[in-house]
Structure 1
């Protein structure tokens, strides 16, 4: 059952803002598969895909906190650094392959129906994502639900968890942040920074992990986006 903050009622929220990758689409699964496929080109028994993907993501997280580059460059630079660390042969095809994979990631099974129910309930939907405009366009196509606002790192020249991203997003949406519920899988990218601007937060804990930071308490913890549908007053009917 979704864990919910009873004091935040449906009529207190006008906007649901989302992280996209890992929240709406299966970012971990896609890049776990891609990293494992690179591993297989180098050794018959690479480590499991999730382990490889976690290390690549750590490298990527370090890079996005440096000077701004487009996400396509971040993808290429991070996978090159990862290959070097893993002692895997590098191919110039890997950078474009990462971008293609990013554009092709499929939505979680609960994403479209949950978002449709939220929209039916009168909630406005927005994406705040660490990506490029020409990548998110494809991701929205995979999701199959329209969004009222889409803000990407390319618009800001910075990546989450930079406060610049949330400051810009709130300005573009033009609503009171206290009436926004930011819904995200990436705890370190999203939950704390959103709270700093007065947004309510929902952590989508798809992997049933322990709370990463006891000092940061989301208003909601959901195992998937059916928690959002329930919050909107349109729960999943078994």
Structure 2
């Protein structure tokens, strides 16, 4: 659905990690720390991240539903095993404890403030647990009205169930929402299937669009959302 000549949304929903919070940078730092602890300086951290991601995405879609902390721990163990490294209980703590310490991108707080001041309600919809994301939300200056997680919904993106749950909890239809996200793999499939409006924040990480979906707008940073909305007559 194009954004022009569509109603001003009541709610703006956001993916958290990679959109608001510096996920790639924080994950790399955690993985480098884990590899240093094992003396594995010859293993490329990007390789471990790639293997970890593949296990994480697979486990998230494999019943029964498990907490993100459990999924992340098992994914990390499987990835380390695949690369010939012994895992330890400390590894998952390094990873999950580090998530809460990941900071927002530099422009995020002021961008959210501008949107909040303009009268939009702001909600995060994220593939995580409530306790993990709480520290990240605390860094956003009280600007977020609702946080809806995979833990609450019992389902992970890219399944549409997390968004269906979010819309039900917010008491809105898909036409009352614009979703803003950085992850084509996790969010665009649901936008395609549900039909809600979607703005892609392409931060130049190399993530590729789905072959059968084009977002309604593509921006490089969050501070470009307000100018776009102004052009649309929503500010």
**Is the shorter-chain TM-score for this pair beyond 0.5, marking a shared fold?**
yes
2:98 partner SS: helix
Instruction: Please say if 1:25 is aligned against 2:21.
Output: yes
Residue aligning to 1:115: 112
Name 1:39's counterpart in structure 2.
35
Whole-angstrom CA distance in 2 between matches of 1:197 and 1:90: 39
Per the TM alignment, residue 211 of structure 1 is displaced from its structure 2 partner at its CA by 4.1
TM-score by length of 1: 0.89
Matched, 1:214 2:215: no
Residue 4 of structure 2 is aligned to residue 7 of structure 1: yes
Say whether residues 1:176 and 2:173 are aligned partners: yes
Structure 1 residues 8 and 130: alpha-carbon distance in aligned structure 2, compared to 1, 3 A threshold: farther
Whether contact under 8 Å (1:104, 1:142) holds in the other structure is: no
Tell me, what secondary structure is at the counterpart of 1:137? helix
Unaligned runs of 5+ residues in structure 1 are: none
Q: CA RMSD in A?
A: 1.9
Q: Does 1:60 align with 2:56?
A: yes
Residue pairs, 1:1-238, within 5 angstroms: 7=4, 12-40=8-36, 41-47=38-44, 49-67=45-63, 68-207=65-204, 209=206, 211-233=208-230
Query: Is contact 1:110-1:225 (8 Å) kept?
Result: yes
Q: Which runs of 5+ in 2 are unaligned?
A: none
Alpha-carbon contact 1:39-1:88 (below 8 Å) kept? no
The structure-2 alpha-carbon separation of the partners of 1:211 and 1:99, relative to structure 1 and needing over 3 Å to count, comes to: closer
Cα distance in 2, alignment partners of residues 217 and 193 from structure 1: 12
